[in-house]
Structure 1
């Protein structure tokens, strides 16, 4: 099967093109050996199928992040049949830097000038035919959002037979590359990378390539590179790394000379006008908080009614299944397992799928419109004041969906100090899996202030993360914070299809976790709740009750020292969604929805409920998130540190809230 890879800068519309080409025929996993997300899909065209691989968005094929290494390794080792290089037509010159590196890597390239409609709106004219002629590669104008030019792009991609024009460097650089290439060839080593490409990367001081050669005992190649580098530096007066970068930009200037026509006086765009308000120094943060408040309000307004419908459906199904099992004389043990363990436990979690999907849909709208990037931008001043890198907040926004990809995204931070701090504080950010916990307690005690309570919880998680980050930057990780450079994409009308795909992926992942992690956990907990044989089910005398009673004294000071709450928190370390399932099962096997809400109302007060929600917000992350911390830090010590630190901070903060609340007369 012909393999087509999509490559491009972040925010160039690559994901939109991937969705257009593959429709719903997609699979998401991880690249082998790393935690970078891998997206694959099938393109069907004229009764034939083609595999489409969406490479990580990257500005270059350097070695500054794992994303870049994954992208270039795939291009060089796996050698896709064609690479569609997606370019932002409104920033063509900058996007072409990656193009020069793709061509150098030996890829068969087709240029897709995306967002051509936005370029036209800005009166930017590009001579695509002449660009194709000068580069000797197919160039197609497209708009992935409007599905314009897609058929032409597909035809060019599957029929490509090109010999693209490569960058011509300064004579001393070309001579050095050739000399080093010949020396590499003489070593007769079975290298996985082309010799010329290795030569260029070595002269660019690519750390990954240097480490690769060191690992394979080829120090002599590095020594030769040092000699050639010294010779070039003496000739040019500066290092070859700078000369190579300069050569690429000169090449881009030459091939685009006279091809791009822009208005002499660039009109202020709609995005610029919006940004004057939305990223305003004074108004930016209040507007961001207002937008998030609106998001949570709509989540509860629409999601709650959908959740109630799911409650009714699951409750009715549970009763029907229970009645059927009883009618066929199924042992009482199994009936209890199905009705109380599965429907009351897992059903309590599944009933929140509509609420989760509404929230992810709204987040998808904000992301696809370009506003979420502004959230990171307006928070940069706050981050710098706390000694943290601006990109740390980008990872925290991602953690708002799930802590695992949020932790993984910290690899885009070049400084080890910044990366470690970001990894250690990300678990404090409230993920989507905690939403069902908040929803149950808000429904029981805070219905009239649902959006406000949710905003307070999410904000508290971020505030605690920032404070801990400040402390870590002054104690365990001292040093200067690097600068934050971020591209703000133009605002656009969100693609309904893109948002739906994101919503479906997140919702399906939530259901999958309920089936693969929470269901087995609920079965084990239910068995422990009825043993030893003869004890009252869900009582403190059961094995589960004794485990909970052993843990419970720790939480008395915070206002929720019951064995049921303790067991729920314990299972939450497996998966945060399991907290609701455990509570639904333990409170006498109540059903999800209204039954669970009323049970919560009987066992908690508004103050202890708030304390419990804060505990679930801040305490030890789930096993998947701890696994991500272990992979990203490559350290068991730091993983244990995160688990213990988050638990202690959560207990301290929830205790302060509860005790101060009592002093103020709230109960």
Structure 2
């Protein structure tokens, strides 16, 4: 079987990922590019005895790395094409926007890499009455051109056939530049040949010379100083002779040839017609209607996720409970397993699976709706709508998209900052992202709102989401006024045409995100629940009590640490709440699992239900799910958290213990404030460290923990002020002064020191590294 290695390259919103999904189906692997938390997708398929491996490169408009602060997507795509031995590149081109897309094509052809042009979105081009002669375009470009409508799976078979029939020889297409540019290129080619580095990077000295004249920082960093100095001298000479920058002259020459090609291969109406996209944009991007429409869509996204997810939850959790908790307990008793093994298996492993299962419906639906909005073309508009607001913080509107992703999970939100143009924007957005309430925190809020705030759960959860947004904004403003001074980069972003989302594409994207989330969460939650269950069963003297003991190792450790949290309302006997905060640093999802395990063990007994029935449990789960859907009415949609009461991933006895030990709603609310803002989960800290640097990750951790503690204590002390006015006043004043001094110190430090924002995150394509990327 012949092996072919292919890279997919194209502009953002050209349908590249849709084509990748159509070609590879479920045979995909998702990891990270080495050195950065940028998603790396690889896949494979077989066709007529050929094993074809695909790599989906990040979407980019150009292969020029113009500065050290260029978008990471451009750097990764360029590095990959330079260093990896690909047999073929499939360049996806948006047929409705030929001029912009063919600029990347011209750069690719100049590199002398064998390629196929996948002319995608022909359906949109035809709607705009744009007719393209693909055969003539193929003759001019010197490579195969395949017509596609990837979201309808049209043309993929022809593309597969073109792949295996390709000669794997490069096109002879070449851009022709002005006399001054051509003379400078010839001088650089001569110098490159003399320095015997022609084999470097695809053995293309002319292409290297062109990139040097474009002042490509990536190429400059790879070549000897004799060549880069000559390039600098030639650039100066060109500017003196033409009164224009060399890179502008090169870009103009490319566009002139591209426009000449377009004139030869296309027919279009003489008068541009007003499209549906333009008509819709007049509404959704209206100055006065844009933000209300966006907030309305976001509200419905969360509303449907919570309502439908809450109704589906009994099906997931009831099944897991029946099999892995009740079933394991029943089986352990009947085969005479030691009670401590049964307890760890059921209350540890089973409770861990139960906790993970509880997240699936709501998180999955949230990912589904986000995928729908992204695929429809709306999310790009949302960034423009919010641009004016983001500019006030010192960020471009494009920064809003990663923050929206943060409502699902903070890790991909931080990863999404790679699309921002400057390192300053990437750092500031990444530092704000951990305060956006993710889906895992929603599970914690739902449990507590069910237990403590039965009448005002919606208001409580909304206030927590709002608090997270306010702290994120305050963090951005603080960074803008201190160590990240400066203005936001100009906001230029393509607005893709609206189109009906392709069901297969959004389902596959949702599945990949949900699978990554569940695997990442499960790898942490289940072992932690087993460990917690074990530590809570082992006493200080080494004896084992499967039902938990007040003298267990976990109990003693929790009681030692709990006094730190007493000012925010956690009493000494509520040590499980302290342990949950500690384990929550591994993953916020673990908080509910920890509380469920510990409170359940405090009320459990060694007896096992003799009336255990597998089918009875499954039937009950189905019945509860049907009842959940049946109970949906207008009231639940007005107050979506009514439907989320089933989201309490705790049995009734555990929830009763939690209410008893917290004692008051104000203590529970203070606890939620702390859970919202304190140390991000390990995965988030790791993403921060790899994406923007370890020092920034440390700063984020400190700032989050100190802010969380201060606001939680102030919340509790304010709410319980009449009970102890003197001590409450001392705590409130003291913490306000502490935070004020911290902010003052940061501002003073920034006046004496300068933060280096010129160093991009390291990228090493040669050493692939996998990782979680959900």
* TM class by smaller structure: over 0.9
Instruction: State which drifts further: 240-249 or 597-606.
Output: 597-606
Contact 1:535 1:541 in 2 (8 A): no
* Alignment equivalent of 2:692, drawn from 633, 646, 650: 633
* Alignment equivalent of 1:159, drawn from 157, 165, 178: 165
Which residue in the other structure is 1:85 paired with? 91
Aligned equivalents of 2:245 and 2:283: distance in 1? 44
**CA 262–549 in structure 1, closer or farther in 2 if over 3 Å, else same:** farther
- Higher relative contact order structure (alpha carbons within 8 Å, sequence separation ≥ 6): 2
Alpha-carbon deviation of 1:464? 1.7
* Alignment equivalent of 1:314, drawn from 284, 308, 320: 320
Matches within 5 A, 1:301-380: 301-317=307-323, 318-380=325-387
> Is it true that 1:290 corresponds to 2:296 in the alignment?
yes
> Is it true that 1:11 corresponds to 2:69 in the alignment?
no
* Alignment equivalent of 1:55, drawn from 53, 57, 67: 57
Alpha-carbon deviation of 1:283? 2.0
Instruction: State which drifts further: 84-93 or 156-165.
Output: 156-165
> Is it true that 1:482 corresponds to 2:489 in the alignment?
yes
Contact 1:176 1:228 in 2 (8 A): yes
Which residue in the other structure is 1:578 paired with? 590
* Alignment equivalent of 1:568, drawn from 550, 568, 580: 580
Alpha-carbon deviation of 1:447? 6.1
Aligned equivalents of 1:503 and 1:449: distance in 2? 32
Matches within 5 A, 1:442-521: 442-446=449-453, 454-521=461-528
> Is it true that 1:202 corresponds to 2:212 in the alignment?
yes
Contact 1:292 1:455 in 2 (8 A): no
Contact 1:540 1:563 in 2 (8 A): no
* 1:423-465 Cα deviation digits (max 9, x unpaired): 2111111223323222322333456766665554334322321
Which residue in the other structure is 2:256 paired with? 250
Aligned equivalents of 2:42 and 2:379: distance in 1? 25
Alpha-carbon deviation of 1:661? 4.8
* Alignment equivalent of 1:191, drawn from 185, 196, 200: 200
Which residue in the other structure is 2:707 paired with? 649
> Is it true that 1:148 corresponds to 2:154 in the alignment?
yes
Aligned equivalents of 2:141 and 2:383: distance in 1? 37
Aligned equivalents of 1:48 and 1:652: distance in 2? 61
Alpha-carbon deviation of 1:290? 1.6
Which residue in the other structure is 1:35 paired with? 37
Which residue in the other structure is 2:748 paired with? none
Aligned equivalents of 2:403 and 2:512: distance in 1? 20
Structure 1 unaligned spans of 5+:
none
Alpha-carbon deviation of 1:325? 1.5
**CA 13–660 in structure 1, closer or farther in 2 if over 3 Å, else same:** farther
**CA 657–378 in structure 1, closer or farther in 2 if over 3 Å, else same:** farther
Which residue in the other structure is 1:223 paired with? 229
Which residue in the other structure is 1:300 paired with? 306
The alignment's TM-score, normalised by the length of structure 1, stands at 0.93
* 1:147-195 Cα deviation digits (max 9, x unpaired): 1222222222332235241211112212212221221222234734533
Aligned equivalents of 1:354 and 1:301: distance in 2? 10
Aligned residue for 1:352, secondary structure, equals helix
**CA 267–239 in structure 1, closer or farther in 2 if over 3 Å, else same:** closer
Instruction: State which drifts further: 289-298 or 528-537.
Output: 528-537
Aligned residue for 1:180, secondary structure, equals helix
Aligned equivalents of 1:368 and 1:2: distance in 2? 30
Which residue in the other structure is 1:419 paired with? 426
- Aligned Cα root-mean-square deviation (Å): 2.4
Aligned residue for 2:536, secondary structure, equals helix
Instruction: State which drifts further: 448-457 or 565-574.
Output: 448-457
Matches within 5 A, 1:96-111: 96-111=102-117
Instruction: State which drifts further: 234-243 or 480-489.
Output: 234-243
Aligned equivalents of 1:661 and 1:62: distance in 2? 57
Aligned residue for 1:91, secondary structure, equals helix
* 1:511-551 Cα deviation digits (max 9, x unpaired): 32244222222222223222323587545533222322233
Aligned equivalents of 1:558 and 1:492: distance in 2? 50
**CA 449–298 in structure 1, closer or farther in 2 if over 3 Å, else same:** farther
Which residue in the other structure is 2:553 paired with? 543
Alpha-carbon deviation of 1:39? 0.9
Contact 2:43 2:55 in 1 (8 A): yes
Aligned equivalents of 2:347 and 2:567: distance in 1? 31
Contact 2:144 2:162 in 1 (8 A): yes
Instruction: State which drifts further: 181-190 or 115-124.
Output: 181-190
Contact 2:395 2:487 in 1 (8 A): no
Contact 1:132 1:139 in 2 (8 A): yes
Aligned equivalents of 1:101 and 1:432: distance in 2? 41
Aligned equivalents of 2:309 and 2:158: distance in 1? 42
Contact 1:626 1:643 in 2 (8 A): yes
Contact 1:100 1:248 in 2 (8 A): yes
Alpha-carbon deviation of 1:404? 2.1
Which residue in the other structure is 2:408 paired with? 401
Contact 2:130 2:269 in 1 (8 A): yes
**CA 186–34 in structure 1, closer or farther in 2 if over 3 Å, else same:** farther
* 1:480-527 Cα deviation digits (max 9, x unpaired): 222111112122111111121122222222332244222222222223
**CA 527–142 in structure 1, closer or farther in 2 if over 3 Å, else same:** same
State the number of aligned residues. 660
Contact 2:351 2:529 in 1 (8 A): no
Contact 1:538 1:587 in 2 (8 A): no
Alpha-carbon deviation of 1:286? 2.0
Aligned residue for 1:552, secondary structure, equals helix
Instruction: State which drifts further: 283-292 or 401-410.
Output: 401-410
